[in-house]
Structure 1
Amino acid sequence: FTQQNNIRQLAADRLDILAAWLESEIEQQQKALTAQAMALAAIPEVRESLVNGDIQRLRRMVLPYVNLLRSATGINSHYFHFRLANGEQFFLPGASEPTKENSKDFEQNGAQPGTRSQGIVPGRFGLDIMAAAPVSNGQSHLADVTALSSLAETLRNLRLPRENSVIVLLGDSGSEAGWRAIQQYGDRRLSAEQAMQIARGAGSSRSGNFFASFIPFKDVQGRLLGGLVLSYDASLQRQIMWSKISQFILFYSAGAIMLWVFLYLNVARIERFLARLKKILVSSHANYFSERFESDHVHCLDIMDCHNEECPVHQDPSLICYLETGTEAVSPRWRNTCIYLNKYDRCENCPVYSTRRGDEVTEMRNVVNTMMRLWGNFLNRVGHLLAHVLRNQERAGQVPSLDDISDRLEQMAGLTFFSHDLQGVVEKEEVYKQLSHIFEKRFGLTRFVFYEMEHDQQRIHIALDTLPDEPLCKQTVLASPDACRAKRVAEEVTSFYNPELCLYFNADLDKDVRFCLPIVMGGQVGAVFSFLVFRRDWERVRMQIPVIRKYLEESAPVLNSLRLLSLTREQSLRDPLTLCHNRRFLDEYIAKYEPLAEREGKRSGFLMVDMDYFKQVNDKYGHQAGDAVLQQLAQILLSSIRRSDLLIRYGGEEFLILLQNIQDMPLEEIAEKIRAAVEQHAFVLSDGVSINKTVSIGVCEHPVDAKAFYKAIKFADVALYEAKRRGRNQVVRFTPDLWTGEDY
């Protein structure tokens, strides 16, 4: 019963597939005919012939077109039907004109005038495939052209499966009683009578081994014109099915017996192999590579008289020679290094190989053993190398896992990118910001401080602080740099193992861990990186300390270079005696500040200060005493002006004070205050002698007295000389009458 249902279902599926195929082919032919009819209707000469009623010219034009279509498509039944607006009809090409009766029949079954349509109609070749298109001249309907081809030729060009057949039925004037079979295709088919009974619905869809279905064709009015009876011969399928069933039963029985025998003999062995393999692979992921398959080795040293002491097998006879040094060696380093390859050329010719090599399971055991040894050696070397690079002696003797290798390589790549990004930085702040970004994004550190040492001034300042509200040790180390243990001993300091290690941890050590890393620059601690991390995260961060240290080591040379560059530049812009800015600094500063002052309308004051009779100090007490006087004078001047103002040693004993953004400040009063402070000060010389000195001061204001800075400096100098001329120890404000020369 199941087999019958399977055959019935198979027959229905095959008939559905055949019907879909035929309908698709007919539809494709209809589309092609539609395109041909529209193309013909669009030819200007065709419209012109129809407008002029020149049917002979139309025939001469259409005949070559039809022959070209037949040649291009390979379908010799192509022809066209023209129906003029006045009712006249003719076929091209055609042996005879249509009669009134068959013209009427074609009109009833074919296209309606002035419309585009397609379908099946009774035609010259029985049932023809047709597609109609109107021919118009502007708004005027001239005719309808219908492209037709034989349905029989379309079916004849198809290669039907051996078990299928097709019978074409044609009715008379849409009456089912007058149907007749006009074409039959396929070797195994129903009789014409059976086909017509199936078409009328009087016959069963099955007759013996034949299954059939009917595809009807209707005209535009819905009347049946004919159709296709499709049949499927199931006898071939039955023969094939029974043959396959017999073969399947035979092979299945034999195969099942062989399989059970094979499984019975090998399943235990395979099970032991897989269980052992699983244990080895799990152990390898846990960095334990000494797990191996048991193997009864036949050593090459037992068979060959080998003296290659560098050979891995010579050093460890438990290894397998052809996987270590032979032509099939796993490692390219030792492949083809066996000295007996000179004699045997390949391992297959060696007596050790034929004795040692086993079946696939045995060979897999040997390969796994060799791979585990090579992987163990490789990861051991990589572990020592990474421990050396990262200076992590804690893990120097440990074999890293694949995850560790992946993480470390990713970290090394990040270090490489970081080192590249440091190239070209011009400020230390850029380095600290890049370190801050790395520590936050890659290590999850969000609470940290960078302390930077200033060894020349014996002080510490904060370079970057993400914990502005945490006191930590900031006040202590800023007041006394030697209080910082990390700076003092140049070693890492952590509160995790000993909370009392540093007196200034100053954090909640029950909740947090404090860690300080010194950054060595030029042989001394140049900065300290101090961070807080929750105790629950300490173990994760502790494993990353070597990488964090490496980032700091990468940045240390750059920070040191920038520090030295800044120090060198600062020294070049300051007077070494008084530590005031020099004229080079003044030139650079004016170039930047003058445009800003002019744009924002800021007023600036210039005081040119010169010590009176300074040469007498050098002549009487010596140049060392003169230097001491200049240093004390500089301190008096600095204490008399704001932090935003500038003090420039302009030359010799002459100083220039630049007062920025003075607004309504009385310049003469400020200058007088300075003059009085100098006059009242007792200058102490190196031998303990005290002397009193005075200064003369010239005052000029920009832009009131001068429109340019350098002009204001010149006028302040002019006012200074006027103060000298008037008797010294006084303040003189520049007035236009003091400058009688040409415009400056």
Structure 2
Amino acid sequence: MLDVPVNGGGDRMTLQKKSLWFTVASSLVLIVLFSVVTVQSFNYFSLNTIREQGRMAAEMLRITLTEQMRAGVIEERETLFKRMRTIPGLVDVRVLRGEPVIHQFGPGKNGELAQLDMEKRVLATGQWEEAVVAVEDTPVYRITIPYVASSGGALNCMQCHDVPEGAINGAVTLGFSLEEMKRSEMFAIAPIAVLLLLFGLCLGYFLNRLFRPIMETAERMKTVVGNAGRGDFSGRVDSTSKDEIGEIATQTNSLMETLEQSMGRISTSIGSLGALSFKKSGQSLLAHTVHVVDEMVGAARFKQAVENDLNLEEIYIRIRRVMSDHFGLRRFALYCVDPEKHAMSPVFVEGVDRAGDIWCDQEILVDCELCRAKRTADCVSSINNLHICNRYGGASRGGDEFVHVCIPMMLSGRVGGVLQLLMTEEECREHPDIEQTASIYLNEAAPVIEARQLMQSLKDTAMRDPMTGLYNRRFLEDYIEVLTATTVRQETTLGILMVDVDFFKQVNDTYGHDVGDQVIKGLAELLKQAVRTSDLAIRFGGEEFMLLLPDTDAEGSMLLAERIRKEMESTLFTTPQGPLKKTLSVGVAMFPGERNEGFWASVKYADTALYQAKDQGRNRSLMFDPSMWKEDGQY
């Protein structure tokens, strides 16, 4: 995004080429324009000169012919014409007779009659005409000038011609070759073209001097900006002039110095983060800095979100969404470490074929020390070391094409979890720094997860009996609404067992409280082993316990009550005073009852059945029956 290409591209015209083409084009335009103007001017001057020469020659010819008529040698006029044709440049001389002369003297010799359309028009209108024609591929300028009869001036036409004033006696046609004029034209243009070429060279030289600082500054700026795109801000632009170009160079140097100092501090800060090195990402410093800042901003927002999450489940869901939505991964897993049991449990596992599968050997769930990331408290990556972890089981699930990265989640100096990422080669290229960026999110979530675990632990401690580890009455008060609502919604029954040790006070009085505690703990273990995972064992108070059996009918509840009673009856407690046996009395009731009364009413029914069992001799189990009510309606 921020990488700046050093090369401008082979097809792009540089400033130097532009100045060269401008110089050449401007010189050619000037040469063409000056040549056209010179040719036009020369042609105009030449034609005008020839035109004046033709008029002069026509007048001289008229005078000569008049004198020949006076001298009586008019018949020798052809000789005059031949001599005139020997004049350089004059290729055609013809005298034409007009109608008045033809009428008076006849048609004359051959060639003295009008032959060309231009000649006929001149004899008809009395207006001279001119034209440039090609005679045997040679350009010829031809002009036809009329002789108009006049009695004024040095020559009086009326003395020889019997014509009226203003009559057109004839005309003269003169032809001048333009070959010499063309040669003169080329000789005239050549020096101008040479001068213009010299002017173009001088112009190019001065333009080069003018554009050179601009081109040098532009080239240097291209190099400096290109290096800056790769993270090198040490480049500077030499200021070769004191004009606007020099000011641009100075301001660019000031900007680069500021960037060098600022990015240097940012680079140092990024380097202090350890693994977040832009060299590993393959990006430029600018691009990597923007990427890292974006990830940090995203991680900060992620932390704000998880801090407002209600419990661990919501936090884990958010971590899963980051892996799938933000990073676009499809195979990953999160494991929690139980330091007391030295075991691990999967929070979620994505990408496996069957529920319950994980991407590693199942043994790590039993012994967390088998997990390399947990044992070393360091990131384990197979990107550069394919077989780094022997417990990775991806090959057995068709995951040979995947690399795996396992990132430990540190909680108070210990590994509290492990985030496992599996990627293809393409995904690795898309996320070259996945280890670092995923760690950012995991590190932001870690303290929140630890706080939620601590709160959960404190809550569990407050809701469990410290002696037996069973839930206490406070837990029952908090949880019972959910349990009863589920029972009613599913239209099932909940078995309630009230369990009490017979003659427990005698144990404390005879054997001491230590033995009494031993009996309580032994009964608690017996209850834990007897109930299902969905059942709840609660120390209701003192030597009295409660069992809640979801989705259990009256018969099942009584069967469990009898099994517990018999197991307690057969249990032998060792005391300093000798072996000790104790019995139980169990009262059983069902929720909802026959009258659909509330849960606590059903608890009262079970308690009533318990006391009935004690009244009937203890060491027995009784199901509540309405006949156990007293006459006043009380139990």
TM range (shorter): 0.5 to 0.7
1:383–1:400 contact (8 Å) kept in structure 2 = no
Give the match for residue 488 of structure 1.
375
Given the alignment of the two structures, is residue 693 of structure 1 paired with residue 582 of structure 2, yes or no?
yes
| CA distance 1:290–1:607, shift in 2 (3 Å) | closer
Task: Name the counterpart of 1:382.
Answer: 266
Which residue pairs with 2:309 in the alignment? 425
Q: Is the 8 A contact 1:514 1:533 kept in 2?
A: yes
What's the CA shift for 1:681? 2.0
Classify 1:259/1:624 alpha carbon distance in 2 versus 1 (closer, same or farther; 3 Å): farther
- The change in CA–CA distance for 1:397 and 1:368 in structure 2 (over 3 A counts) is farther
> Structure 2 stretches of 5 or more lacking a match?
1-198
Question: What is the letter of the counterpart of residue 636 of structure 1?
Answer: L
Choose which of 239, 252, 257 in structure 2 pairs with 1:368: 252
CA distance in 2 between partners of 1:410 and 1:421 (Å):
16
- Is 1:555 equivalent to 2:435 in the alignment? no
Cα drift, residue 634 of structure 1: 1.6
1:290–1:372 contact (8 Å) kept in structure 2: yes
Mean CA deviation greater in 653-662 or 618-627? 618-627
Q: Select which of 499, 523, 539 maps to 1:649.
A: 539
**Counterparts of 1:459 and 1:510, CA distance in 2:** 27
Separation of aligned partners in 1, 2:465 and 2:501: 17
Deviation at 1:519, TM superposition (A): 0.8
Q: Does 1:530 align with 2:420?
A: yes
Mean Cα displacement is larger for which, 386-395 or 372-381? 386-395
Task: Report 1:153-552 matches (<5 A).
Answer: 262-294=206-238, 358-389=242-273, 392=276, 401-469=285-353, 471-508=358-395, 511-552=401-442
**Aligned partners of 2:364 and 2:371 also within 8 Å:** yes
User: CA separation in 1, counterparts of 2:590 and 2:326?
Assistant: 56
Distance verdict in 2 for CA 1:543–1:739, change over 3 Å: same
| Cα distance, 1:550–1:475 mapped onto 2, change above 3 Å | same
Q: Look up the SS of the partner of 2:474 in the other structure.
A: helix
Structure 1 counterpart of 2:231, one-letter code? N
Q: Distance in 2 between matches of 1:259 and 1:583?
A: 103
Equivalent residues in 2 for 1:596-635, closer than 5 Å: 596-635=486-525
Q: Which amino acid aligns with 2:311?
A: E
Paired position in structure 1 for 2:466? 576
Within-5 A mapping of 1:77-88 = none
> Which residue of the partner structure matches residue 615 of structure 2?
725
How far does the alpha carbon of each residue in 1:152-188 deviate from its partner, in whole angstroms, 9 at most, with x for none? Answer: xxxxxxxxxxxxxxxxxxxxxxxxxxxxxxxxxxxxx
Offset at 1:689? 5.4
Aligned counterpart, 1:671? 561
| 1:575 CA drift (Å) | 1.1
Counterpart code for 1:432: Y
Q: Counterpart of 1:644 in structure 2: which amino acid?
A: S
Contact 2:300 2:444 in 1 (8 A): no
Q: Are the equivalent residues in 2 in contact too, given 1:472–1:506 (CA < 8 A)? A: yes
Amino acid at match of 2:291: D
C-alpha distance in 1 between matches for 2:592 and 2:215? 99
Q: CA deviation at 1:480?
A: 0.8
Shift of 1:295: 5.7
Report the more deviating stretch, 579-588 or 619-628: 619-628
Q: Which SS does the other structure have where 1:665 is aligned?
A: helix
Aligned amino acid, residue 576 of structure 1 = P
CA–CA separation in structure 1 for the residues paired with 2:214 and 2:444: 53
Moved more, 385-394 or 598-607: 385-394
Which residue of structure 2 lines up, in the alignment, with residue 47 of structure 1? none
1:472·1:504 contact (CA, 8 Å) conserved in 2? Answer: no
Identity %: 31
Report which structure shows greater RCO (CA 8 Å, sep ≥6): 2
Alpha-carbon distance between aligned partners in 1 of 2:287 and 2:251, rounded to the nearest angstrom: 23
Alpha-carbon separation, structure 2, partners of 1:541 and 1:693:
66
* AA of the residue aligned to 2:582: K
- Paired with 1:704 and 1:443, the residues of 2 have a C-alpha distance of 54
Q: CA separation of 1:501/1:265 partners in 2, compared to 1, >3 Å: closer, same or farther?
A: closer
Separation in 2 of the partners of 1:638 and 1:294?
85
SS of alignment partner, residue 681 of structure 1:
coil
Decide which structure has the larger Cα Rg and report it: 2
Give unpaired runs (5+ residues) of structure 1: 1-254, 297-356
Distance 2:627 2:370 in 1: 62
- Structure 2 distance, partners of 1:695, 1:670, is 13
**Offset of 1:392 from its aligned partner?**
2.7
Q: 1:502 to 1:623 in 2, by over 3 A?
A: farther
Q: Aligned partner of 1:281: which letter?
A: V
| SS of equivalent residue, structure 1 residue 511 | coil
Q: How many Å separate the matches in 2 of 1:397 and 1:727? A: 80
Cα distance in structure 1, aligned partners of 2:571 and 2:512: 20
Partner of 1:681: 571
Amino acid at match of 2:288: D
Could you report, residue by residue, the CA deviation over 1:129-158 in whole angstroms, capped at 9, with x for unpaired residues? xxxxxxxxxxxxxxxxxxxxxxxxxxxxxx
- The structural deviation recorded for 1:636 is 1.7
- 1:499, 1:563 → 2: CA distance? 35
**Mapping for residues 48-197 of structure 1, pairs under 5 Å:** none
* 1:640 positional shift: 2.5
For the 8 Å contact 1:379–1:400, the answer to whether it is kept is no
8 Å CA contact 1:380–1:398 kept in 2: the answer is no
- Counterpart of 2:549, as a letter, is L
User: Residue type matched to 2:391 in 1?
Assistant: Y
**How far apart, in 1, do the equivalents of 2:565 and 2:256 lie?**
89
Contact 2:554–2:590 (Cα < 8 Å) also in 1: no
**Alignment partner, residue 315 of structure 1:** none
Alpha carbons 2:229, 2:284 under 8 Å: kept: no
The one-letter code sitting in structure 1 at the alignment partner of 2:564 is: I
- Corresponding residue SS for 1:290: coil
The CA deviation at 1:389 is: 4.7
- Report the alpha carbon displacement of residue 441 of structure 1 after superposing the two structures with TM: 2.7
CA-to-partner distance for each residue in 1:235-286, whole Å, 9 max, x for gaps? xxxxxxxxxxxxxxxxxxxx99997574143234433332222222212212
- Shift of residue 712 of structure 1? 1.8
The normalised TM-score by structure 2 is: 0.62
Contact 2:217 2:239 in 1 (8 A): no
Question: Whole-Å Cα distance in 1 between the matches of residues 270 and 501 of structure 2?
Answer: 66
2:567 is paired with a residue of what secondary structure? helix
Question: RMSD between aligned alpha carbons?
Answer: 3.2
Q: SS of the counterpart of 2:394?
A: coil
SS at match of 2:464: coil
Cα distance in structure 1, aligned partners of 2:263 and 2:201? 48
Distance 2:560 2:297 in 1: 61
Q: Deviations over 1:118-137 (max 9, x none)?
A: xxxxxxxxxxxxxxxxxxxx
Q: Is the 8 A contact 1:719 1:732 kept in 2?
A: yes
Counterpart position of 1:34: none
Structure-2 separation of matches of 1:599 and 1:544: 46
Letter in 2 for 1:665: E
